Amino acid sequence: MADPATTHAYSSAVIGPKGATGVLVLADGSVAWGRGFGATGAAVGEVCFNTAMTGYQEVMTDPSYAAQIVTFTFPHIGNVGTNPEDMEGSVQGAVGCIVREDVTEPSNFRSVGGFPAWLAAQGKIGLAGIDTRALTRRIRMVGAPNAVIAHDPAGQFDIDALVKRAREWSGLEGMDLARVVTRDAQESWEGGVWRLGSGYGRSPRDTRPHVVAIDYGAKDNIFRNLVKAGAQVTVVPAETSLDTILGLNPAGVFLSNGPGDPAATGAYAVPVIAGLLERDVPLFGICLGHQMLALAAGAKTTKMHQGHRGANHPVKRLADDVVEITSMNHGFAVDAATLPDTVEQTHVSLFDGSNCGISIKGKRAFGVQYHPEASPGPQDSFYLFERFVGMLG
């Protein structure tokens, strides 16, 4: 009897091994059989891996994961269940996930439902019984592959068609996904940070400095942390014009995280950011926003071999050699070798030395590659929000 979790070379079989109700098909024809859960059907995306031990609901609803299939390296995913408070966004994030062990019943006082049912309601596909260690090693050796993840309770799959779909997908390079995941209209952000026993607070609408946050695929917790740091926040869509932003009379502008290729999104975002720099508007960018701030300053970005995704990434702050434990999710990076003299590198990854922070000389503008709102340290990086709000006067 074939092991449903076996990874093997491409074959034209349409019915998998006994017990297999899900499959991962890579663009090179490799096939991994497993046990499907969540939504049924098939979805195409780039396979990545995330090393965090928890936070899977936040990962799956982070718009930065759009068009990606997340391999969780921690084997026991789903054991804290799901709840409405841990949603990071209401738009499409990751299209599916891959786990080692079958999802068990939740055991957490905050849970209101199990992971499989929640995943199905979100239209996302899960695949269990996969050798995630082997898949992660493969990604590390040869890079993140394009693939199709599929789930059929009857266990019937057209492998030829799935391979063809994976091969024909264009991939993330050159893809602008910010306009797909951004909100449709401007809104005043009302929520504060979450507290045990009381849930999310409210944002005071008072004399606090006004921050306009450009949503390229933002996590909601970023806006909550801006509120916690002392700002009032207006969120605008990704393609909002420079004139519209300036018309809101911001004390500063925040550039959010998001999915896709920064060079593609930069076609319309970079001219806006450059205009803000020319007017010396205070700027703070995270992840994709950081990358596009670098592009606006004259640097370039590059597609990474495997990317950085997890909640345990050490980053060195060059000013004082302090190490921050950070949360990351990015498959593109700022090419430090292309930073012009007008840009100072402020942070680097201790995993591979890649750029993780910049500051624009003579301007009130800086960015970091990681996610300071995700609390991996848990509070190592909150000072960045305070630093930004402190610039606003």
Contact between 23 and 16 (Cβ < 8 Å):
yes
| Rounded-to-integer distance, Cα 210 and Cα 248, Å | 9
Instruction: Measure Cα distances from 97 to 59, 110, 162, 248 in Å.
Output: 10, 22, 17, 40
The torsion angles phi and psi of 290, rounded to 5 degrees, stand at -60, -45
Burial (CB count within 10 angstroms: exposed 0-12, middle 13-18, buried 19+), residue 337: exposed
Contact between 323 and 316 (Cβ < 8 Å):
yes
Report the b/e string of 189-203 with b at 16+ CB within 10 A: bebbeeeeeeebeeb
Closest CA to 32 of 51, 11, 56: 11
Q: Which residues are catalytic?
A: 287, 371, 373
